[in-house]
Amino acid sequence: MIHPVIMAGGAGSRLWPLSRQLNPKQFLRLTDDRFSMLQMTAARLDGMESAAPLLICNEEHRFLAAEQMRQAGYADARIILEPCGRNTAPAIALAALQLVREADNSAEDPLMLVLAADHLIQDVPAFQNGISRAIPLAQQGKLVTFGIVPGHAETGYGYIQRGPELAADSFAVRQFVEKPDRTTAEHYLASGDYFWNSGMFLFGARRYLAELEAHRPDILAICQAAMEDASEDLHFTRINERIFAECPEDSIDYAVMEKTDKAAMVSLDAGWSDIGSWSALWEVSGKDENGNSFAGDVIGVGTENTLVRADSRLVATLGVQDLVIIETKDALLVAHKNRVQDVKKVVERIKADGRHEHMNHREVYRPWGVYDSIDNGIRYQVKRITVKPGAKLSVQMHHHRAEHWIVVSGTAKVTNGEKTYLVTENQSTYIPIGQVHSLENPGVINLELIEVQSGSYLGEDDIVRFKDVYGRT
């Protein structure tokens, strides 16, 4: 049996404005109208002899990850929370330590299938066949990576040069090489000896820890200490933040795979893409007869080879080509396809200007539901709040703002100081500044309400929580 480990960290800044720091690309529906990238990653394991996935994600994404895994059929998904990002070598070490601990005193070396949550694989049977071919190598103590059969001379990926053949379509690794220039990439493609580095792996947990100890014992020691002081909270494993913050940052490629003599590669031709840019998404998306990929309310006239995603309004194009146009409720990106790798520079400018559009969308997901900031101005803000059935916001108060709630649909159970009462459709209630209060949905349908905030300061950090069923402070 294999133990899938899904790496769900990262910010995906090259896919701004759809991907944001608090809602990055692995949680978005980029290539499927029904499922996020994370959910598609979990779904492609269906039919394989595998345990439930173990997720590794950032602390700030924990509820979003848990909810998406619940929707994917993993209500009790195990999630390791990284208090800070330290790249893939430490993250995988945390997962390996967890799997070894779960194996207890068993002599078995649990096989870890390390997957990225934000990759696209169009041919799932070919993917599963590649995993099956890799299992015997991993059982022999190899650290197996998956080399993607290149379809063109790509300069945006690292490459793996194959060595001697170990089995059918399986090879020793001769070397890992960095992202090449165009001429070098064309040489790699023509030679047939080089494969794209997918960042997916299969190996024994104990074998990986042994190799990490041999090549980066400093990383292993800190990960062990952080895991020894871990705590369990709902579905989450919280590692010691103070200890883990001291861990060096390093990728698994640099820390282990380029140094070990046990690296092997299984070739994989399964329609793989890391969706690392808007042009990459255009390449894998369905297109009309003019090479356009449209999503949402889009009218294209005289438009060619263009990607348009309209989130909240009509987007019309006229007489353009080779563009990327991404519209959300609070931002619009217009870029030439050959410049989309520089979208991160726009994000850096947003940060430098002290703006917030890199952090989150207008719609913000919470463990109890979602809110949409539909209007704001001097001393006021208006939100549309959706609370899931049975969900409850924290018991809290605000120092600087009052709140007026108007129920649109459903029923609200309101605690307002010493009083608790129900508010139904077309009714409203008022929460004064400094009043301890909470909001709950006791019904079986979503609670929809409009919240009007007024006061001298309306930031989300003006929340003093007294009690929270989701463990937030």
In whole angstroms, give the CA distance from residue 369 to residue 363: 10
Which is nearest to 221 in space by CA: 107, 97, 98, 99? Answer: 97
In whole angstroms, give the CA distance from residue 204 to residue 190: 34
pLDDT of residue 430: 98
Q: Which domains occur in the chain, in start order?
A: 2-273 (3.90.550.10), 278-350 (no CATH), 363-467 (2.60.120.10)
Amino acid at 97: L
Tokens of 171: 């090879």
How confident is the model over 231-277, as pLDDT tens digits? 988 779 999 999 999 999 999 999 999 999 999 999 999 999 999 99
What is the maximum alpha-carbon separation in the chain? 76
How confident is the model over 353-381, as pLDDT tens digits? 999 999 988 888 888 999 999 999 999 99
Predicted confidence band at 106 (pLDDT cuts at 50, 70, 90)?
confident
How confident is the model over 117-126, as pLDDT tens digits? 999 999 999 9
| 217-228 helix and 88-103 helix, angle to the nearest 10 degrees | 50
CA end-to-end span of the chain, whole Å?
38
CA distances from 204 to 3, 111, 142, 210, 456 (A): 10, 4, 8, 10, 56
The rounded percent of the chain whose pLDDT value lies above 90 is: 88
Residue 471 has pLDDT above 80, yes or no: no
In whole angstroms, give the CA distance from residue 121 to residue 273: 7
How confident is the prediction for the chain on average, in pLDDT? 94
Q: What Rg value do the Cα atoms of the chain yield, rounded?
A: 24
The answer to whether 97 and 209 are in contact (CB under 8 A) is: yes
Burial of 96 (0-12, 13-18, 19+ CB in 10 A): buried
Q: If you average pLDDT over residues 403-414, what whole number do you get?
A: 98
The answer to whether 182 and 153 are in contact (CB under 8 A) is: yes
